[in-house]
Amino acid sequence: MKNFLARQKQEGFFSVRFKSAAGKLTAAQLLAIHELAEKFGAGFVNLTSRQEISVPFVREENFTAIEKFCTEHDLKLCPLGAVFKQVTACQGTQTCPSGVIDSPKIALELERQHGGRVLPNKITCAVTGCPNNCMKVDNNDIGVKGAVEPKFFADNCVYCGACAKVCRVGAIKIDRAKKIWTLDRDKCLNCGRCVKACKKLALRGEVGYKIYFSGKDFLPMIRAEERLYKIVDAALKYFSEHGKPRERFGKMLARLGTEEFTNVLK
């Protein structure tokens, strides 16, 4: 019970938090939360930074009834403490024009594999659909970002400059007279804007994932979705084996260094 009740400063009161499916709840679930807040809380909800809905001012003695209500209305409670927290996500390719990966799909699979997993300390995880980084993945213990690696096909290129115009960081240079196209891969954000701008199929994009641990990327772009899940699992196992109680992931890396950790991920 205590693993789901967040203590408030008001004596005798707690809040309960409900998971969303990568930031998505049905209208029926929202109505059910409204009913629960009226019946067991103070008639209002709070939104957390992890895309959870929190109902404050509930009493401990009502928790059994709240659990039953959740079962009846397809609501999932968020566990507290040193666990793998709900994965936050933007909507990616499901609705966003800039999205290059299906962020909710990735987030829900990570949640299915690891949600509530007990660890030395809490792990926050976010998935963002493109380098716009709306979900601020580098502020999480684990972050996944959609990426596109441009591939150049010279036979199709008319050197019009459309790709260079949309590049936000000036990574693409074109010499129309000499018919030379160059890409500075150190500057490239892997956003895919150049690929979308090319109407001649001179640029085609290979979609993949960049993964971050405490804001740092230790690996090149990951091509396969299944490999992404294996890397996350390996990182969590490493944390379970080497992390100290109450030590955050980044603190563990600072203490142990990153060489062994990077080798574990490969």
Domains by residue range for the chain, with CATH: 6-72 (3.30.70.3340), 88-147+207-265 (3.30.413.10)
Which of 251-255's residues contact partners 24+ apart within 8 Å by CB, and which partners?
252/120, 253/213, 253/214
Instruction: Specify the pTM.
Output: 0.90
Q: Tell which residue, 123, 93, 87, 125, has the closest CA to residue 108.
A: 87
Q: What angle do CA 192, 193, 194 make, to 5 degrees?
A: 90
Give the pLDDT confidence score for residue 99 in this predicted structure. 93
Tokens of 261: 């950790």
* Residue 231 C-beta-side C-alpha neighbours within 13 Å: 24
The pLDDT value given to residue 103 = 97
Residue 11, pLDDT score: 95
Over its length of 266 residues, how does the chain's per-residue pLDDT go in tens digits?
Answer: 569 999 999 999 999 999 999 999 999 999 999 999 999 999 999 999 999 999 999 999 999 999 999 999 999 999 999 999 999 999 999 999 999 999 999 999 999 999 999 999 999 999 999 999 999 999 999 999 999 999 999 999 999 999 999 999 999 999 999 999 999 999 999 999 999 999 999 999 999 999 999 999 999 999 999 999 999 999 999 999 999 999 999 999 999 999 999 999 98
Q: Is 2 in a helix, a strand, or coil?
A: coil
Q: How far is 89 from 261, CA to CA, in rounded Å?
A: 25
Using an 8 Å Cβ cutoff, are 70 and 116 in contact? no
Structure tokens at 204: 């085609």
DSSP 61: G
Q: Strand runs (DSSP E) across 37-179, as ranges?
A: 46-47, 53-58, 88-89, 125-128, 142-152, 172-175
CA pair distance 266, 20, nearest whole angstrom: 32
Burial classification of residue 59, based on how many CB atoms lie within 10 Å of its CB (0-12 exposed, 13-18 middle, 19 or more buried): middle
Among 21, 218, 223, 54, smallest CA distance to 127 is for 21
Q: Please give the pLDDT value at position 126.
A: 98
d(CA 34, CA 29): 9
Q: What is the pLDDT of residue 2?
A: 61
What DSSP character marks residue 21?
A: B
